[in-house]
Amino acid sequence: MSDATSKIFTAPSQLATNAYDYIIVGGGSAGCVLANKLSSNSALTVLLIESGSNNAGVAAAQIPLLFSQLFHTKNDWDYNTTPQDALAGRSLYWPRGKILGGCSSMNAMMVTEGAGSDYDQWTKEGVTGWTFSDLKPIFRLLEDHVPRDSTQTPHSARGVGGPRSTGYGNLSPICSAYLQAATKVGIKYNRDVNTGENPLGGTEVMTFVSTQGASKGQRSSSATAFLTEDVLRRSNLTVLCETSVLRVIFSESEGSPKASGVEVATSPDSETFKIQAKREIILSAGAINTPKLLLLSGIGPEEDLKKVGVPVVYNSAVVGKNLLDHPTTGSITFRAKPGATIDWHLSQVGGQEAAMKLWMETGKGVFSSNVAETTAFFRSTDVKEHPGMAGKYPIIPVDDWTSGPTAPDVEVIGAPTGFIKHGSVPVVNGFTLFPILLAPQSHGFVQLKSSDPWAAPIIDPKTFSHPNDVAIMTRALRLCLRIARCAPLVDQLEIVTDVDKSDFLWLGSRDPDLVTDAELKEHIVNNAETNYHPAGTARMGTPDTGVLDSHLRVYGVRGLRVCDASALPTLPAGHPDITVCGIAYLQAERMLADESY
């Protein structure tokens, strides 16, 4: 154990003091950034509290291919939603990172910023200071980009020398074939969707995977990037893991309540401790646990708080509301020809051993794959009727809820392996298309089940409850089937035709000209899942529409901010890890530059 690692404590009784200038609750994507930046001022003392364990030494948090092995473990909050009315009463599994680095330590490491208009539209919500022009320079500051070769975007369009590594990992030939096939249905190739100019098109996925140095081939998380050994050695930074914050403590002075500390414990049966915040408390516990903590602390809808016996500190009507997500229809799985996929290679005699040896020696090969190697962004309104469908299945009309004319509302990931039910179903020689809705109109909520801080909250995302969401993804599913019938992808697949409807290969076996809309909708009802992007439950906005002002301060109280995905008014059409890190970085810079901010 290094001196730096030994500074990560696992019990509040180990702390040298019970008072800090800043207390950051949640060591995830945002929390690690805030801890790094705020502690760069040696005059400030900073405490970072994380419910989960240290990420160091957790193999599945280091090896990109193994990320789904963290699901349903101690490193996962392992949440489940309420039964979903639009999905035949199914309860959905929602993994969330319970480990230093949070979801940046267990996600698929995808770097997609979305459209500039996704950020600019926040001004319509009364939010200032977070436009794309504000955040784009920060996104570049965050990254240390290494292109695969001269055909990739040059350094001038990317950031160099930043804390988080970005680049391109393993690229399977079958995924290249997917991108080529997508061009046959009008989805143009785009070598980099993150230049800020055009986020549409098929692309090799840029990842948070290190491509150089001692960590080559390993995940670059918020923890590995911002809590380096040098940072952890700072005398003014303390990291406390395996400790849960039960509530924020408020003092009544100078009018409105002031957040003065937190109450913490390591388990339901352990001793509780109170830790004082001399300046501010920043909640960075994520889109589920941040609203839960606000509610437990008495900030939320008065009626809801009274129902569970929580004393009201401030009646904030929208805490826990506006729960957003990017849902998926569930995977479309195809049988690939032998030798085309990752799972086939790993299933061969000695395949896993050889692949691991290659990864350990060079950082390359299938273990450097993030699974989601390629993806395609498009607008459902651009999907044209296939000639073979003319007059048979009129294309379903959809409304455009995107932020602008270059903003996508659908993403389809191409993965060189089977990925069914969050990777829990073993597949050999599978290729997966993974359609994702990026501009959903179905909004849900997070609510307390009781006043017990150890009880999971009620999570009701109301997935696919809005008919426009279903219409868009019905179009997307048919388009996926068309892509799979186009060369060169079809040449690498074994399209089966005689499978039962209960078989995971069934939808992929259907002819795009013959499958009915009813069958496609049935697939959504029976297979839809989360794509792991909850947000919006403590959104920025006006006092009437939001929980936070544009400085991320919680309305109605003093000394309390929120900085994580729950603060987003709407979800950008991408993968929000980069967005959350960028907001945290810029927020910390502003706080350091101006104490009154």
Examine the domain organization and report whether 396 and 294 are in the same domain: no
Q: What angle separates helix 29-38 from helix 577-593, to the nearest 10 degrees?
A: 20
Examine the domain organization and report whether 126 and 273 are in the same domain: yes
Of 378, 384, 408, nearest to 396 by C-alpha is: 384
How many folded domains does the chain comprise?
Answer: 2
Examine the domain organization and report whether 147 and 260 are in the same domain: yes
Query: What is the rounded distance in angstroms from the CA atom of residue 42 to the CA atom of residue 53?
Result: 26
On whether residue 293 sits in a domain, the answer given is yes
On whether residue 185 sits in a domain, the answer given is no
User: Which of 527, 557, 573 delimits the end of a domain?
Assistant: 527
Examine the domain organization and report whether 82 and 219 are in the same domain: yes
Give strand ranges (E) for 152-272. Answer: 164-167, 201-204, 237-240, 244-252, 257-265
Domain span at 348: 327-437+465-527
pLDDT, one tens digit for every residue, the chain (597 residues): 455 666 899 999 999 999 999 999 999 999 999 999 999 999 999 999 999 999 999 999 999 999 999 999 999 999 999 999 999 999 999 999 999 999 999 999 999 999 999 999 999 999 999 999 999 999 999 999 998 877 778 788 899 999 999 999 889 999 999 999 999 999 999 999 998 779 999 999 999 999 888 899 999 999 999 999 999 999 999 999 999 999 999 998 778 899 999 999 999 999 999 999 999 999 999 999 999 999 999 999 999 999 999 999 999 999 999 999 999 999 999 999 999 999 999 999 999 999 999 999 999 999 999 999 999 999 999 887 665 555 566 677 899 999 999 999 999 999 999 888 898 777 778 999 999 999 999 999 999 999 999 999 999 999 999 999 999 999 999 999 999 999 999 999 998 888 888 889 999 999 998 999 999 999 999 999 999 999 999 999 999 999 999 999 999 999 999 999 999 999 999 999 999 999 999 999 999 999 888
pTM of the model: 0.96
The CATH number linked to 140 is 3.50.50.60
Examine the domain organization and report whether 267 and 210 are in the same domain: yes
Q: 389 burial class (0-12, 13-18, 19+ CB within 10 angstroms)? A: middle
Question: In the structure encoding, which two tokens stand for residue 384, read together?
Answer: 């044209």
Examine the domain organization and report whether 160 and 268 are in the same domain: yes
Question: In the structure encoding, which two tokens stand for residue 440, read together?
Answer: 């959903």
The CATH number linked to 494 is 3.30.560.10
CB atoms within 10 A of CB 362: 11
Question: In the structure encoding, which two tokens stand for residue 530, read together?
Answer: 């989360």
User: Which of 480, 508, 527 delimits the end of a domain?
Assistant: 527
Question: Residue 160, annotated ligand binder?
Answer: no
Q: Which residues are catalytic?
A: 533, 575
